[in-house]
């Protein structure tokens, strides 16, 4: 089970998080988000993060040239497409050597069969809660809907995951192909500012569970 912390933008906060060695750190390149990375962070600082931490750029219906420019500028390992992007866009980004995470907003009407169109062109899926915003709505969807997922593509689970329901997610992972958890607003003191002690507890909880399973 991997831990992805998304919506980072403050240098000191990022340094504190990096010390915890999460598996992924996400940066949002969507200017309508309150967690938008903006122009203030130095790309040299982002590039200097430990190679063991995968850097993810989150884009919403962005121009492919913009995506590829940001990937190169910040040395991102993954592009997370969090809008209404079609399979062709996933394919064109991936053909440029960029790993692709395609996010989908889930509610009871979601048709999991349509994922077959994306499967060849994505490295991972991400399932988030359908809400008023493309992401960061801060509430879980009905996780029992994941029983309808019959694909073999691993996925991140997102949407309202915090310490209060982390055990439930870890239990779900026993029967589902949950690659990792994607956390954001439940660990914030303000948009884009993460509570490091709370994240430390989550990462510890996930890694202890991993050790139990491996044992």
Which pLDDT score, from 0 to 100, does residue 212 have?
72
* Cα(98)–Cα(111) distance, integer angstroms: 27
The string of pLDDT tens digits covering residues 128-183 is 998 666 655 578 999 999 999 988 999 999 999 999 999 999 999 888 889 999 99
Its pTM stands at 0.94
* Cα(72)–Cα(135) distance, integer angstroms: 24
* Cα(76)–Cα(78) distance, integer angstroms: 6
Report CA dihedral (201, 186, 159, 59) to the nearest 10 degrees: -100
The string of pLDDT tens digits covering residues 21-67 is 999 999 999 999 999 998 888 999 999 999 999 999 999 999 999 99
Structure-block tokens of residue 101: 């995470």
Q: Which domains does the chain have, with CATH numbers?
A: 2-214 (3.20.20.70)
The string of pLDDT tens digits covering residues 87-98 is 999 999 999 999
């Amino acid at each position: 089970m991997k831990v992805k912390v998304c919506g980072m933008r403050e240098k000191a906060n990022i340094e504190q998080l990096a010390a915890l060695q999460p598996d992924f750190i996400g940066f949002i390149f969507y200017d309508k988000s309150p967690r938008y990375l903006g122009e203030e962070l130095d790309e040299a600082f982002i590039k200097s993060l430990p190679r063991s931490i995968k850097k993810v750029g989150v884009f919403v219906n962005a121009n492919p040239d913009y995506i590829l420019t940001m990937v190169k500028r910040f040395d991102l390992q993954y592009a997370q497409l969090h809008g209404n992007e079609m399979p062709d866009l996933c394919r064109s980004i991936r053909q440029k050597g960029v790993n692709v995470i395609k996010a989908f907003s889930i509610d009871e009407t979601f048709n999991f069969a349509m994922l077959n169109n994306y499967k060849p062109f994505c490295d991972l899926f991400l399932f988030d809660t359908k809400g008023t915003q493309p992401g960061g709505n801060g509430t879980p969807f009905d996780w029992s809907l994941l029983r309808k997922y019959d694909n073999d593509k691993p996925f991140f689970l997102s949407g309202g995951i915090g310490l209060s329901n982390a055990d439930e997610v870890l239990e779900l992972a026993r029967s589902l192909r949950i690659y990792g958890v994607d956390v954001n607003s439940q660990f914030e003191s303000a948009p884009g500012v993460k509570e490091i002690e709370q994240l430390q507890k989550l990462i510890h909880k996930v890694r202890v569970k991993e050790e139990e399973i491996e044992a």
